Structure 1
């Protein structure tokens, strides 16, 4: 029996058929195809490729209705698909995360700007409106309010910078909560690939209102076709939900395109998906068992197959700072605030001197 295999014509290095060569005898047909060929040879099974480009959802439907027997490349294994087709043992995993452009801005700037609440301006206004005080006292009150604000903000930033702030360019978030904060408070917007085979809503957690927040964010998301190229179209403050094969992601943050400054941030809180070959449920169980034995024989060698096509992406390195550098960072960006405090104090001292001189002149005139 010759098994009928279907799937994508080309999907990165995973499957790489060409229009003039669309079968299992092609040279360099892709990582998953090579892996399948090796397993078939070990088990004595044969297969041929149906030369039509089928996306994964369509391929599952074709296998379920008996028009094909298996996928030529591994696809995401999920509950909905398990109801329609059988799956082999996993050969790889899909890790999830976010594709963004590298950020230039110091994140602590956003922290400082977001700390300038209207209440602070109200306190400054109160300092001017206290009529029973002299002008010097009013300026001094403003200086004191501003100094308290500066002092509190400085130590708050020093304490939180180790956890949430960055003093170097890079990325603004590392998980779903951080992404939602960026969308809600910093003007980011979400992009979602069509026909990706997974739903971002599957990853949210129901505590802390995370699912409702993600649902609201996805209502405003832009859906882009599978052919959409992020290298040319991804902009700053836009984030693309994306999954990458685990063998390509050696660290939590990798460089996808150094020239375009594209980064992939793996969200370690999101459970990876199994990638397996899908089979028709009506096939003999002996075929599934044989194919699984063949795949188990070469299990652990996927990286060797992948090395023929592409190396893992380069890790993105962002320096880790000492507590002293965080302290310097706080002063570096808070210095303009402190300088304004000194200006207020200088104005209050100047106003005080003017008032003292005026009183002396007035006193001399009154004495005369």
Structure 2
């Protein structure tokens, strides 16, 4: 499928205000920073210069396997075991996102993965918060605007989810806005972490769960109905519960004749936001290409679709790059980009008045012509 540009190239795309809901802190480290931090601790890397290291991360992640993709994190996590390193990575993430036109972002990471250097879980959260505060202040001093919050991630394959849930609640008034569950989906069901989900649910605290990426619709059902997820990390495999109709030049996806299964109807009816990550989904084999990515028919069917980076280092991507790929390869135009941005803003883990200010004060003025998103706009 070829795209229509609508003049949306280069700086025009970068200038659009963006909301990023799914971005891993340890997946967005600058290659130069990985090199410097690794050198300081004597950690051997697969490449010795910035360009080669960045290329290695992308190549190693483009295997069609989620497990191989996740294995690349051993290098970034290894160099993020001190408060100073965490603070630096968080600060640089804020600066890089702001330079990419992101006005609101949620940075997620697993505190339990940053304890081998002797830090306590609370010290990890404090270090990340300090870096975010520094980066935000620098952006403001330069005349820019960005707000960045934290999402704490529990790992499917570990036994620390209840600890992470309690840590998130202890910091809910200090920038932590949700609990996440990530890691290998196959063989590690969300049901193992029911206690953690109950902990946050009874405290009226939101949850997002990685599901429907490597595993199918069953993982999505478990995330929504057992974990009580208010958003789904990825969720691209919900398309498996949709029977698309015949394709035609006027209806290239067969949306008009689509038949939704019970789960797909539930996800759409409840407008459960999908944190879709196009480039990453291609790398891990969840989809075959950007042109054939389910994000387009899902958006046209009225699902609550958002666009995200997942891991900027491993995918060699940015929000501008994700937008460009959708424009060039999937036929998106300004209307689709605006709708996804508005959906992301209304789906952010913020209070309603804060979402409203983000939409009306930042997003709508940044898109021309102004218009309404389909999702609660």
Fold shared per TM-score above 0.5: no
- As a proportion of its length, which structure holds more strand? 1
| Interval of TM-score (by shorter of Structure 1 and Structure 2) | under 0.3
Report the structure number with the largest CA radius of gyration.
1
Which structure has more relative contact order (CA 8 Å, sep 6+)? It is 1
- What is the TM-score normalised by the length of structure 2? 0.24
